[in-house]
Amino acid sequence: KGAEFEVRNSANEVVAKLKTDEKGFSVPQPLAPGTYKVYETVAPEGYQKLTSPVEVTLQAGETKTIEIKNTMQKGQIEVKKIDSENGEKPLANAEFDIVKDGVVVEHIVTDKDGKAISKPLAPGKYILKETKAPEGYQLKEAEFEVNVTGDGIFPIQVENAMVDKGNIEITKVDKENGAVLAGVEFEVQDEKDEVVR
């Protein structure tokens, strides 16, 4: 529906204009016998316009039906994942599902630059859900709607906050009398035995 065409004769003059209806057909136009070129001037919404004309030759009293096939325009969703406090810090290894009509159509993971890009997707509304946060960051519970309208890249930026940091408080006491001992120093190590404080 909504495709528009110009029919040009051998002198490159426009001799007819056609527009398709809901069923994809146009109203036939009477033309003299001869060879014509049909140019698509407007493609249906969400489809690519033909780049070359279709040639057709008509005999006297003949009606010809031309089948025109348009390629659907497809776009890609690009996610950029960043730290919510430092907006310039990209976050790798965040995982997302891209969902359409309740069905997961693709699973993507951000790279070292904090980016992930989908495969080409048909026009429509998609939901982006984070399924796994980068290490040390909170999972983003919110869902994001992305409207793919045709060719091109459809970017979305998602920020993550770091997991809340805990505090360690150490009190050193005398084993015999329980008196608090001042001036004692400690090292705090992580699970890899690396000093973090």
- Domain-embedded: residue 167: no
125: containing domain: 75-160
Q: Give the three-state DSSP class for 10.
A: coil
Domain of 37, CATH number, reads 2.60.40.10
Q: Are residues 51 and 22 in the same domain?
A: yes
Residue 175's contacts (CB-CB under 8 Å, 6 or more residues apart) are: none
In this prediction, residue 143 has a pLDDT band, given cuts at 50, 70 and 90, of very high
- Domain-embedded: residue 191: no
Q: Are residues 92 and 151 in the same domain?
A: yes
Q: Are residues 105 and 150 in the same domain?
A: yes
- Domain-embedded: residue 68: no
Q: Are residues 49 and 10 in the same domain?
A: yes
- The stretch 135-144 carries a mean pLDDT of 91
User: Residues 2-19: pLDDT tens digits?
Assistant: 899 999 999 999 999 999
- Write down the pLDDT at residue 58: 93
- Write down the pLDDT at residue 190: 64
Residues in the chain: 197
User: Residues 149-177: pLDDT tens digits?
Assistant: 888 899 999 998 887 666 667 777 777 77
Give the pTM: 0.61
Q: With CA atoms as reference, report the closest residue to 10 among 43, 69, 53, 51.
A: 53
- The stretch 16-44 carries a mean pLDDT of 93
Looking at 32-165, list the stretches that DSSP marks H as alpha helix, in order from N- to C-terminal side: none
Question: Is pLDDT of 61 > 80?
Answer: yes
Element (H, E) at 42: strand 34-42
- Domain-embedded: residue 183: no
- The token pair at 111 is 């790279």
CA distances to 3, 38, 118 from 158, in Å: 38, 46, 15
- Domain-embedded: residue 173: no
- Domain-embedded: residue 175: no
Q: Are residues 92 and 26 in the same domain?
A: no
Strand 124-132 relative to strand 144-148, pairing: antiparallel
Question: Is pLDDT of 186 > 60?
Answer: yes
What is the residue type of 33? P
User: Rounded to 5 degrees, what are φ and ψ at 143?
Assistant: -105, 150
Percent of all residues in the chain with a pLDDT value above 90, rounded to a whole number: 59
- Domain-embedded: residue 189: no
- The token pair at 56 is 């057709």
What is the residue type of 108? I
C-beta separation of 46 from 72 below 8 A: yes
User: What secondary structure letter does DSSP report for 47?
Assistant: B
Q: Are residues 15 and 88 in the same domain?
A: no
- Write down the pLDDT at residue 112: 96
Residue 123's contacts (CB-CB under 8 Å, 6 or more residues apart) are: 46, 72, 73, 74, 75, 148, 149, 150
- Domain-embedded: residue 93: yes
- Number of domains comprising the chain: 2
